[in-house]
Structure 1
Amino acid sequence: MGKSLEEVNESVATQGKASTFRRILAFFGPAYLISVGYMDPGNWATDLAGGSQFGYALIWVLLMSNVMALLLQSLSARLGIVTQRDLAQASRETYSPFVNYILYFLAEIAIAACDLAEVLGMAIGLNLLFNISLLDGVLITVLDTFLLLFLINKGIRKMEAFIIALVAIVGFSFVFEMFFAQPELGKVVTGLIPTLPNENALYIAIGIIGATVMPHNLYLHSSLVQTRKFDRSKKGIKQALKYNLIDSTIALNLAFFVNAAILILAAATFYKNGLFEVAEIQDAHQLLEPLLGTKWAPILFAVALIAAGQSSTITGTLAGQIIMEGYLSLRIQPWVRRIITRLLAIVPAVVTILYFGEDITGKLLILSQVILSLQLGFAIIPLIHFVSDTSKMKGFHISKTTQVAAWLIASIIVTLNGKLVFDEIKNWLQITNHPTLIWTTVVPLAIGFLFLLLYIVFKPFFVKAKHNIHNHSPHNLKLKLRALNTYSAKNIAIAVDFSKADELAINSAFELGGLEAKYTLIHVVETVGAMMYGRNTDDHETTIDEKLLLEYKTLLVDKGYQIETQLGFGRPGKVLPKIVNENSFDILVMGTHGHSGIKDLLFGTTVDKLRHKISVPLFIIKNK
């Protein structure tokens, strides 16, 4: 399993700082990238709908969501800091392939829903500020992919600075909006008392929860904290947990301020004036100037919307990369992954705008947030299990009190979602002319997801963690050895990756060297822990690879060959040349996977990088 966000993993040093303040500052950043997901355009839609329909009554939902978010994000950060795995990687190591494929599918749906909201928000902002059509605005958002690629190549700190600047624009815009709106402070305080005026309020409340506590942020945070390089001692890990909690608290409270400001703005302008159906961002923009009496109100609103959409689309795309690589261990070129993520959002947005028209975008934004909320349980429950596991967390598992609080939050979210699904299915059965279709498709699917949720909840209580580890690697140790020819090389290196290519490579090497030559099997480990800590890592994939390499050695020694083994850690294109050049090998033999052209674009190529860097001949055996 590869390293999470390998371009920037462990790229920020936190040690050797002159003062405690500078050390704390070095840890600050990941939570601000997380916070933008809590103020993205999807939040705007649900907050506007809540404020215009119910006034200040749903502010308590925002506050509750913020408290939930702070606890859950701290658990996500803890998982990444302690285990050096993101949530997707931890799930892949824990669950069976079948369960992981379903979890991956659900996570991708959440990413698509999230990115859909961000694409629509950006397009709406461009439309409001520059009068660009929504369809053109959606297509322009493709350029975000290249901006992200540019920023991440400049380093994570520069990306964090860019995001923080965008967050500051959003924050300052709403400071001025509050000044223009002059909300009733007494009613704002009253809104902190939990109430649900009607069933429509429940739908909006669940949308607010989905827009606030976002599943992709849980995957993202567990990865971003790994960009910090710190002392891996017990004291160092405790310090990292403490500083990341401070980072999360500040960043998420800023996000709460923005969300509350949007809802309060809607309550103080639309609800107050009897405009209860303002859920569309475009309508809100048009009404701000006449209601507040200043042309700056709609301009600041549009600027803040563009800043929110731009910042959140960057983090959403990063989360898509983390989820694909973590669940599938599928490493494709980062720019390809980001294009795919963006297209998954752009295509439904374009189809919706073309088919239903631009007026449907507000409802589509709210629906995207409800979809996010429905997926939350499948991200939260595994996270709670992981950070409660004493063996996985190596003494940094959460306390019983925190476990109770986390399970309470998960129960609230799952219960609300369950009610929403039940009510929606019931409503569909009442209004449809084809109830059989609902009974044969939607109902079985809902029941299936319910059983999956119950499986994820209860399985860890009955299966001990040490027996609950799955190896998903395509390892195959059944090597068929061919007859020997004469030898000429004395010291032969063989690159192996535990695939079918190994058999061809090893046999070809034996034909060169025979029984008298010395062979060194080289395997490069690409896990998160391996990349950062080399032989000191104890992650699952490194342990498995080490074991397999020794099994290769045992098998071949029994056949009479002189075999040594060597593990490398990092990208094969960089590590293999270093190992080969530091040893007195006569030749390097390696197999290929037989892909070229478009597959090289997707997966990259080690051979091209390798052959120009080594000082000995390279014998490439093509896999037929």
Structure 2
Amino acid sequence: MKNIFKNIGPGPLIAAAFIGPGTVTVCTLAGVNFGYSLLWAMLLSIIATVILQEMSARLGIISQKGLSQIIRTEVKNPILKGLAIILILSAIVIGNAAYEAGNISGGVLGLQTIVGNPNIKIGSFSINILSVVIGLMAFILLYIGSYKLLEKVLVGLVIIMSLAFLITAVITKPNILDVFNGLFIPKFSNDSILTVIGLIGTTVVPYNLFLHAALVKEKWHKNSDLKYARRDTVIAIVLGGLVSMCIIISAAAIQSQDINSASDLAKGLEPLFGSFSKYFLAMGLFAAGITSAITAPLAAAYVASGCLGWSSNLKSKRFRGVWMFILLLGVLFSSLAIKPIDIIKFAQVANGILLPVIAGFLIWIMNKSSILGVYKNNIKQNIFGFIILGISILLSVATLSKVFHLNIF
């Protein structure tokens, strides 16, 4: 048992990063509107995430470099390199700044269920104290700059989140046969296409590919460590996918169309299953919010450092400057209840374009013997990689269609 815990690596951090308030909300809406019928989309997302994140982890361990560092050095054409760096910085750094407010707000929604809604009035502004508290917690953990401490805290929060959503799903007493049908028999209609795309899009996250490659080299330094990284990746992502499925299952128990978010789900469960179900869900939402509030600025700092050739040491001034900027914006938008809609729309567009671009770059790099030697992709890994690339292109088109109201889907 001690050996298992010793070899827990960045996997739980990646799971923590993709299960944020956005994922919780999308999974809630999937369950409320379509019952168990879209569980297959989550299963597909988990498989795609495991394949891409394994590639990212393998790249980080074998090369001992981050993905953004390798893109900067391997793309030789100056125009293409410039475009790639601008796109990556826009989507990850600006995008994470926009989403950070949502991450912190998600954690706040969880805490509000337990402690109420404390606000301070300063002139015409009302500042939410809980947003500041969550921002301060994230700041302290990131500023200490200890990877081991960060890992332990996030693993603990992921365990709390997993138990909270698992217990909530069990409380709703789902029909196991219906759950398995939803999981293994794909069904979708025109009404559910955007929800399916949303489920895949919140699980296969572009910034996690950068974060994973950067974090594995903090934990492991030898090629022989690859087996630990693979086990860590598979277990953590499957666990994260199970959490998402539990949210869909919990939401499917609510026979109401007035559920638009996870906080509505908490209220909807209370009359059916008692007040304790609301508290389990609140703890899960808090853990989902704060883990994403920590990993989003961290990912942005790694990406900016790799793209611009800076040191990726957790204690370097430039590295700290990037995550502080992201965190400050998140706290500001969240505590003053400002909704940065235009920035979020921009981030959606940039992320929509970025996913197939990064998946393409990753597959290309994973086939370079000069970087990976005998650890480059084999035929089976390439086949799965290209299938996922095709799905990511579809996802990209659908995201652009949604943002610009093109009605392609």
What TM bracket, shorter-length normalisation?
Answer: 0.7 to 0.9
- Work out whether residues 349 and 399 of structure 2, in 8 Å CA contact, stay in contact via their aligned partners in 1: no
Contact kept in structure 1, 2:60 and 2:217, CA below 8 Å: yes
Write out per-residue CA displacement over residues 56-111 of structure 1, whole angstroms, 9 at most, x where no aligned residue: 11101110000000000000001101111111111111233522223322222442
> What letter is aligned with 1:29?
G
Deviation of 1:313 after TM superposition, in Å, equals 1.8
Question: Partner letter of residue 70 of structure 2?
Answer: A
Greater length-normalized contact order (CA 8 Å, ≥ 6 residues apart):
2
Aligned residue for 1:395, secondary structure, equals helix
Deviation at 1:419, TM superposition (A): 3.5
Judged with a 3 Å threshold, the aligned counterparts in structure 2 of structure 1 residues 182 and 339 are, in CA distance, closer, same or farther, namely same
How many Å apart are 1:127 and its aligned residue? 2.2
Quote how far apart the aligned CAs of 1:228 are.
2.9
The code of the aligned residue for 1:120 comes to: S
CA distance in structure 1 between the aligned counterparts of 2:349 and 2:276, rounded to whole angstroms: 32
2:123 counterpart residue number: none
Displacement, 1:428?
Answer: 8.3
Shift of 1:333: 3.9
Within 1, Cα distance between the matches of 2:345 and 2:362?
26
Is 2:263 the counterpart of 1:282?
A: yes
Looking at structure 1, the residues matched to 100 and 334 of structure 2 have their Cα atoms a distance apart, in angstroms, of 10
The residue number in structure 2 matching 1:498 is none
From 379, 382, 385, the counterpart of 2:364: 385
**240, 246, 258: which is aligned to 2:231?**
246
- The CA distance in 2 between the partners of 1:399 and 1:355, in whole Å, is 45
Q: Deviations over 1:394-427 (max 9, x none)?
A: 2311112211210110111211321342365354
Secondary structure in structure 1 of the residue aligned to 2:377 = coil
Separation in 2 of the partners of 1:373 and 1:158? 33
Give the 3 Å change call, closer, same or farther, for CA 179–27 of structure 1 in structure 2.
closer
- Determine if contact 1:72/1:218 at 8 Å carries over to the other structure: yes
Alpha carbons 2:56, 2:212 under 8 Å: kept:
yes
Number of the residue aligned with 1:547:
none
Q: 1:354: how far off?
A: 4.6
1:556-609, CA deviations, whole angstroms, 9 ceiling, x for partnerless residues?
Answer: xxxxxxxxxxxxxxxxxxxxxxxxxxxxxxxxxxxxxxxxxxxxxxxxxxxxxx
C-alpha distance 133-159 of structure 1, shift in aligned 2 (>3 A): same
Per-residue deviation, 1:355: 6.8
> Residue 287 of structure 1: SS of its match in structure 2?
helix
CA distance in 2, matches of 1:112, 1:75: 26
For 2:193 and 2:216, the matched residues in 1 are separated by 34
TM-score (normalizing by structure 1): 0.58
Q: Choose the corresponding residue for 2:97, options 96, 99, 112.
A: 112
Partner of 1:102: 87
**Aligned equivalents of 2:251, 2:310: Cα separation in 1:** 44
Q: Give the match for residue 149 of structure 1.
A: 142
Q: CA deviation at 1:178?
A: 2.3
Alpha carbons of structure 1 residues 415 and 318: separation in structure 2 relative to 1, 3 Å? same
Contact 1:77–1:225 (Cα < 8 Å) also in 2:
yes
Q: Do 2:139 and 2:327's aligned partners in 1 also have CA atoms closer than 8 Å?
A: no
Partner amino acid, structure 1, of 2:359: I
> Is there any run of 5+ residues in structure 1 with no aligned partner, and where?
1-20, 232-236, 430-624
Q: Distance in 2 between matches of 1:371 and 1:183?
A: 38
Letter in 2 for 1:328: L
Amino acid at match of 1:397: K
Query: Hey, what does 2:322 align to over in structure 1?
Result: 337
Matched, 1:138 2:131: yes
Question: Higher helix proportion, which one?
Answer: 2
SS at match of 1:191: helix
* Larger displacement relative to structure 2 (408-417 or 43-52): 408-417
- Tell me if the contact between 1:210 and 1:369 (Cα under 8 Å) persists in the aligned partners: no
| Distance in 1 (alpha carbons) for counterparts of 2:133 and 2:377 | 44
State the secondary structure of the residue aligned to 2:385: helix
Deviation at 1:33, TM superposition (A): 1.1
Task: Look at both structures and tell me which one has the larger radius of gyration over its CA atoms.
Answer: 1
Which residue of 2 is the match for residue 421 of structure 1?
Answer: 400
The residue aligned with 2:106 is 121
Q: Partner letter of residue 163 of structure 1?
A: L
Q: Secondary structure at the match of 1:85?
A: coil
Q: Which amino acid aligns with 2:383?
A: V
1:79–1:85 Cα contact (<8 Å) kept: yes
1:226 maps to 217
Deviations 1:181-213 (A, max 9, x none): 1011111111121121224x2212222112111
The equivalent of 2:12 in structure 1 is 32
Q: Distance in 1 between matches of 2:220 and 2:354?
A: 32
Q: Percent identity?
A: 27
CA distance in 2, matches of 1:266, 1:366: 26
Residue type at the aligned position of 2:202: A
Whether the 8 Å contact between 2:27 and 2:244 is mirrored in structure 1 is yes
1:56 and 2:48 are equivalent in the alignment? no
Label 1:45 to 1:371 Cα distance change in 2 as closer, same or farther (>3 A): farther
**1:399 match:** 378
Give the Cα separation in 2 of the matches to 1:54 and 1:70. Answer: 25
**Amino acid across the alignment from 2:354:** Q
- Determine helix, strand or coil for the equivalent of 2:57: helix
Question: Could you tell me whether the CA contact under 8 Å between 1:209 and 1:373 is conserved in 2?
Answer: no
- 1:16 matched to which residue of 2? none
Q: What secondary structure, in the 3-state scheme, does the structure 2 residue paired with 1:57 have?
A: coil
Checking the alignment, whether the CA contact within 8 Å between 1:38 and 1:214 is kept in structure 2 is yes
User: Tell me, what secondary structure is at the counterpart of 2:374?
Assistant: coil
Determine if contact 1:42/1:368 at 8 Å carries over to the other structure: no
**Tell me, which stretches of 5 or more residues in structure 2 are unaligned?**
120-126, 312-316
What per-residue deviation string (whole Å, max 9, x for no partner) do you get for residues 381-401 of structure 1?
211111111222123111122
Q: How does 1:431-510 map to 2 (within 5 A)?
A: none
Distance 1:98 1:183, change over 3 A: same
Q: Distance in 1 between matches of 2:372 and 2:378?
A: 12
1:45 to 25, 28, 32: 25
Cα separation, partners in 2 of 1:367 and 1:185, compared to 1, 3 Å: farther
